[in-house]
Structure 1
Amino acid sequence: MSASPSPESGCPAHGNVDRRKSAAIALKNTQPDLGAHWVKSPSIAKYILRSKHARQAGAGADLVTFKNPEQAPVFFLDGELHAIKRRKTQRFLSPKAVSQQHYLVMRKVTDELLAGFKTQGHAKLEDLSFSLAVEVVSEILGLTNSNQAARVNRIQKVLASSISNAGDGKLAKVWQNFKRASALGIFYWFDVRPAIKARIKNPTDDAISFYIEEGYSKFMIVIECVTYGTAGMLTTREFITMAAWYLFEDQALRQQFLAGDEKEQVTILMEIVRLEPVAAMVHRRIDEEISGIAEHPLPPGEKYGLDIRNANIDEEMVGECPYAVDIERAKRQSDSGKFLSFGGGPHSCPGWQVAIHETRIFLEQLFLIPELTLDREPDISWNSQLGSYELRNADISCKR
């Protein structure tokens, strides 16, 4: 992958050769939920995402009910309840919050993690990225009244138990439920409980203080924390590792990233996430017939799987040379650069700016370390529960 134009093809960056890391495993594993229509057209996908008649239907969202829906995570809400909660909680994820509050945490944790890496001389990249993601999300939530290293370990166990398959057999399912309950209980007792107690006494500008003010039960606060963890910690871990892999592999792209200002760095990262979106597919259910965007009207009550990966390389939406990392692409296409990488419409990812900026800050500081090397390219696997790739065993080293 080269950051300079290819005279033979006229395409910027490596002559439009498909060098996506997760393409093969995603092609093998990506498919819509049983009974859902597979939408590959970006124009139809965008229309559905933005439609007021479409409801969230991914990860069982259309099957889960809550006793107090106003306390449900925003992911599981639609319509007015969704809009109200999104307005109330967006301040924790806004550009202002990123620049004035979260930026300081991103820099502090990045400096601490990389100082440890330079002392040790080696690390697994996914461990560093996960620790960073945990601390940034913990700051947003207000999970700051417990030991940092222990909290990372407990959250790892909670999320792992939440997204793993139980396997076949009644005993396996019982054992899986026991592990989930145990991990949640320990997480609540050592992390959530002290955070709640501290904020009842002294509220701060974070999500847990907001939940207490709104009268959330302790159980629902734990559910919110796990939802944030799945959305903000796991996905960011994978993307930081993926973006670093691109920069390790391509010296020209790495130099372009390090020489660029904040806007240029963000643009490069947005191009990488376009090519390697962590979420391969999102689902929506249409409540009313939608016509005028496809050969036949979309009937009411149907479920649709929107193929994010396919849309993000479709020239209809992203223009020519779809496999190139091209910092001018968004401008040419009159797009923000997100394309469909973070979904779209009412249920678009609310924390995308947090993820992009913590990735930018971390990678900028990482690649300034002298004699930094990627000793082992990551293994790629697929998480069927999340419908996304996972990268493990990315060994990096530097001079001690």
Structure 2
Amino acid sequence: MEAQVDERKSAALAEANLRVEDGAQKVTTFAAAREMLRHTQVLQDGAGADEVDVGDPEQVPVFYLDGKPHKTRRAAIARFFTPRAISERYQAVMEATTDRLLADFRARGEARLDEISFELAVAVASKIVGLSQSDPHDMAPRIAVLLRASFTNAKGLARWKNLLLRSWYGYRFYVKDVRPAVRVRREEPGEDIISQCLAKGYSDKAIMIECMTYATAGMVTTREFIVMVAWYMFERDELRADFLAADEERQFAILLEILRLEPIAALLYRRSAQDLPETCLGALREGARFVVDMRAVNADEAAVGACPHALDPDRARGQQGTFMSFGDGAHHCPGWQVALHETRIFIDRLLRVPGVAMVKPPEMLWNAPLMSYELRDAQVRCTP
């Protein structure tokens, strides 16, 4: 029997490190994942959701809300992620930041992809959030070290040291980036998250938490996505040629297919809000936990077709969308179109730099708290 092709880069790393929490039933098929993620009596779980006080929904990140409070908040932020908002407010930032980063790359002749892609992600996310008083080039390292300190499994003395560092890095981010933006937005509200928070009477602490939520959800995941896409492009001449010759729709299809193979968010936890006597998982008691295994779901042949571990950009046309890479249901990723647009713009322009080549592939690491891969130190060079 002929072995199936497996072109995934992060599969072995994920297989060795992916861990499901005790007591959570695993969902591995596309149909079951869609049913359960869209179920109206299912609540957000994981990532400390059970420890968050949602008594005042206006002071809690939207990630942790459910039901009517969640629906209300999602409706309030929806305008920040529409195609119109992307074209009118964010695309100019994506293009200008990409051009600046690549001009610097061409002048120096070399660059680290994880660093410049993170700076792009910071610039775009800061526009959405309203962190308008800081230079993204200066802000990116501050956010990077804060996030690194926030997601660690350190034990003993190392854990206490990390807590101190996280407090210091958080304070520095607040003083240098968040507080100046809040001060300006109090006087001159804009079309951004901070202005909306101020209009609703958010405390400074709640605004800081909101900024960190978007930093984690938008900046970190986009960085990994861009580096992974670049890795594929530099290794596969035919894919690179296809992408550069394609229109926008085809380019999006290629990006979505790469993300299907290499989902950054690997596990989505949920729990039942009440007894559910009939589901595709069987009868569930109130509080029963389950977890959607994104890697398994995205490789479900019943949904994605034959050879599910091989790259085929035409799959996305059949699905007309994102598979499960950005989640589904009430908690699907609101900024998925932003991530696709900035990745498409950056990759397209990077690949057109004269003489560009990847001279060192990224090192793959595993982020245990996030159950996600990380790509570091990918080196690219070009003709100066």
The TM-score bracket by the shorter chain reads over 0.9
Evaluate the alpha carbon distance shift between residue 293 and residue 336 of structure 1 in structure 2; reply closer, same or farther with a 3 A threshold: farther
Q: Is the 8 A contact 2:25 2:290 kept in 1?
A: yes
Q: Tell me the secondary structure at the aligned position of residue 59 of structure 1.
A: coil
Residue matched to 1:33: 21
CA distance in 2, matches of 1:305, 1:29: 16
Evaluate the alpha carbon distance shift between residue 399 and residue 331 of structure 1 in structure 2; reply closer, same or farther with a 3 A threshold: closer
CA distance in 2, matches of 1:18, 1:271: 14
Q: Is the 8 A contact 1:31 1:38 kept in 2?
A: no
Q: Is the 8 A contact 2:54 2:65 kept in 1?
A: no
Correspondence 1:325-336 to 2 at 5 A:
325-332=311-318, 335-336=319-320
Task: Name which of structure 1's ranges 281-290 and 232-241 shifts more when overlaid on structure 2.
Answer: 281-290
- Aligned AA (2:179): R
Deviation at 1:175, TM superposition (A): 1.8
Residue matched to 2:191: 205
- Aligned AA (1:308): M
Q: Tell me the secondary structure at the aligned position of residue 50 of structure 2.
A: coil
Pairing 1:54–2:42 present: yes
- Aligned AA (1:385): P
Deviation at 1:163, TM superposition (A): 1.2
Evaluate the alpha carbon distance shift between residue 16 and residue 266 of structure 1 in structure 2; reply closer, same or farther with a 3 A threshold: farther
CA distance in 1, matches of 2:155, 2:282: 40
Deviation at 1:164, TM superposition (A): 2.0
Pairing 1:294–2:280 present: yes
CA distance in 2, matches of 1:216, 1:270: 36
Pairing 1:367–2:351 present: yes
Evaluate the alpha carbon distance shift between residue 96 and residue 105 of structure 1 in structure 2; reply closer, same or farther with a 3 A threshold: same
Deviation at 1:41, TM superposition (A): 2.2
Correspondence 1:222-241 to 2 at 5 A:
222-241=208-227
Pairing 1:159–2:141 present: no
Evaluate the alpha carbon distance shift between residue 64 and residue 395 of structure 1 in structure 2; reply closer, same or farther with a 3 A threshold: same
Residue matched to 2:251: 265
Evaluate the alpha carbon distance shift between residue 247 and residue 174 of structure 1 in structure 2; reply closer, same or farther with a 3 A threshold: same
Residue matched to 2:121: 133
1:86 to 68, 74, 77: 74
CA distance in 1, matches of 2:54, 2:72: 17
Q: Is the 8 A contact 1:239 1:273 kept in 2?
A: yes
Deviation at 1:243, TM superposition (A): 0.5
Residue matched to 1:75: 63
Q: Is the 8 A contact 1:279 1:341 kept in 2?
A: yes
Residue matched to 2:32: 44
Deviation at 1:148, TM superposition (A): 2.9
Give the TM-score normalised by structure 1.
Answer: 0.92
Task: Name which of structure 1's ranges 65-74 and 132-141 shifts more when overlaid on structure 2.
Answer: 65-74
Evaluate the alpha carbon distance shift between residue 219 and residue 156 of structure 1 in structure 2; reply closer, same or farther with a 3 A threshold: same
- Aligned AA (1:208): I
Correspondence 1:1-400 to 2 at 5 A:
17-66=5-54, 68-165=56-153, 167-169=154-156, 171-290=157-276, 292-294=278-280, 296-332=282-318, 335-400=319-384
Task: Name which of structure 1's ranges 372-381 and 38-47 shifts more when overlaid on structure 2.
Answer: 38-47
- Computed over aligned residues only, the root mean square deviation of the Cα atoms, in angstroms, reads 1.6
Q: Tell me the secondary structure at the aligned position of residue 304 of structure 1.
A: strand
Give the TM-score normalised by structure 2.
Answer: 0.96
- Aligned AA (1:216): Y
Paired residues, number: 383
CA distance in 2, matches of 1:34, 1:376: 38
Deviation at 1:34, TM superposition (A): 2.2
CA distance in 2, matches of 1:256, 1:331: 16
- Runs of 5+ unmatched residues, structure 2: none
Q: Is the 8 A contact 2:58 2:200 kept in 1?
A: no
CA distance in 1, matches of 2:367, 2:54: 26
CA distance in 2, matches of 1:291, 1:21: 40
Q: Tell me the secondary structure at the aligned position of residue 117 of structure 1.
A: helix
Deviation at 1:337, TM superposition (A): 2.3
Q: Is the 8 A contact 2:278 2:284 kept in 1?
A: no
Evaluate the alpha carbon distance shift between residue 276 and residue 152 of structure 1 in structure 2; reply closer, same or farther with a 3 A threshold: same
CA distance in 1, matches of 2:96, 2:377: 25
Deviation at 1:36, TM superposition (A): 1.1
Q: Is the 8 A contact 1:238 1:391 kept in 2?
A: yes
CA distance in 1, matches of 2:352, 2:239: 14
Q: Tell me the secondary structure at the aligned position of residue 219 of structure 2.
A: helix
CA distance in 1, matches of 2:278, 2:317: 28
- Aligned AA (1:255): A
Q: Is the 8 A contact 2:119 2:136 kept in 1?
A: no
CA distance in 2, matches of 1:136, 1:16: 39
- Runs of 5+ unmatched residues, structure 1: 1-8, 10-14
Deviation at 1:293, TM superposition (A): 4.6
- Aligned AA (2:81): L
Deviation at 1:174, TM superposition (A): 2.5
Task: Name which of structure 1's ranges 193-202 and 295-304 shifts more when overlaid on structure 2.
Answer: 295-304
Q: Is the 8 A contact 1:313 1:323 kept in 2?
A: yes
- Aligned AA (1:56): Q
Cα shift readout 1:190-240 (whole Å, capped 9, x = no counterpart) = 111110111111111111111111100011100000010000000000010
- Aligned AA (1:18): D
CA distance in 1, matches of 2:59, 2:48: 18
Evaluate the alpha carbon distance shift between residue 60 and residue 327 of structure 1 in structure 2; reply closer, same or farther with a 3 A threshold: same
- Aligned AA (1:263): E
CA distance in 2, matches of 1:218, 1:388: 30
